[in-house]
Structure 1
Amino acid sequence: MTTVVESPVALRHGRDLVSPELFERLAAFCADEYGLERVVADRVMDQAIAFVYVLGSQKAYDMAPSERVDPGWHSFMLHTQEYAAWCQEQFGYFVHHSPNARVRTRPLMVSVADRVAAAGFEVDARLWGTTAECNQPACCGDGDGDGC
């Protein structure tokens, strides 16, 4: 009898949805603009691109980014030509950033992170405020603390 070992499915990364050159420019901008260490800015940009992809491809306007991921979306949008072209290429329309008036709660962030994961993307739970050690509300976007 032969045993077949299934190899794990590789998760997608938001950064792979843009060129390496564009990702570098976006992450550097995010780091400078928001005072983030570069390694953190890389993670933020990766999650933001994955988030916008899910939002745009599913027209999921009930989604909201965490406070930690939102600077990545802002960084991408501030590169307007690249962002507009990417949206057109991916979805056929421009994905607007309409601030979600709902408070960023842990359940909302868990829901959004789950939807990003369901689309096949790796989720950095520390940036979504969904890790077990998250000290609400600091992780989820409404507090002052570092939390994640």
Structure 2
Amino acid sequence: MTPAPELLPEVKDLIDADLRTRLIEEVRAEWPGLGEDLGERGIGQMVAFLATSARTAEPLTPSLRVDAFWHRFLLHTVPYVRFCAALGVKFIHHVPEPAAKAGPAAGRAAMERTKAAIRAAGYAVDPEFWPGEGVADCTQCHAGCTDSPVNT
């Protein structure tokens, strides 16, 4: 089992324990084998992705597994908006693009840029959640799903 990467103290507790539990339960509905440890790691990777997204104007691409947590978090609008504000942005938008607009090569390149940006921001990239790191399933990145390039 891969140890859970540590989050930087500045973002470690931006999602309270009750909401973390709810997010894991909600993602588990789509991912039945998701245990508590892996769920906590998924939230950590989502937080690392969003915290990195808040610090760049370059669009970043979540992995399929990270995106599952982000989709659930977006449904909890009040804590999501508070989370974004704690990162210093008004809102981190989820911007899906039509599949025809992005091909697999562009998606793979976007995923590599995203992982590099997360590492450059000081976060660990958990291989269980990112394709090309040895463990994670394939991603939907060919569909062009990104954060907003300008966090308003």
Asked whether the two chains share a fold, i.e. TM above 0.5, the reply is: yes
2:47 aligned residue (46, 49, 53): 49
Written as runs of structure 1 = structure 2, the 5 A alignment for 1:93-108 is 93-101=90-98, 102-103=102-103, 105-108=107-110
> What is the aligned partner in structure 2 of residue 141 from structure 1?
140
| Gap runs ≥5 in structure 1 | 1-9, 144-148
Q: How far apart in 1 are the matches of 2:60 and 2:118?
A: 10
Structure 1 residue 113: Cα displacement: 0.9
The percent of aligned pairs where both chains have the same amino acid is 28
> What is the aligned partner in structure 2 of residue 63 from structure 1?
60
Q: How far apart in 2 are the matches of 1:52 and 1:122?
A: 13
Q: How far apart in 2 are the matches of 1:28 and 1:121?
A: 25
Normalised by the length of structure 1, the TM-score is 0.71
Change (3 A) 1:117 1:100: farther
SS state at 1:69 partner: helix
Structure 1 residue 73: Cα displacement: 0.6
Superposed CA RMSD in Å reads 2.8
Kindly indicate whether the alpha-carbon contact (under 8 Å) linking 1:15 and 1:45 is maintained by their aligned counterparts in 2: no
1:58-82 alpha-carbon deviations (Å, 9 max, x no partner) = 233x211111211111111111110
Q: How far apart in 2 are the matches of 1:11 and 1:64?
A: 21
Larger Rg: 1
Q: Across the two proteins, how many residue pairs are aligned to each other?
A: 130
| Gap runs ≥5 in structure 2 | 143-152
Q: How far apart in 1 are the matches of 2:21 and 2:103?
A: 31
State the structure with bigger RCO (CA 8 A, min sep 6), 1 or 2: 2
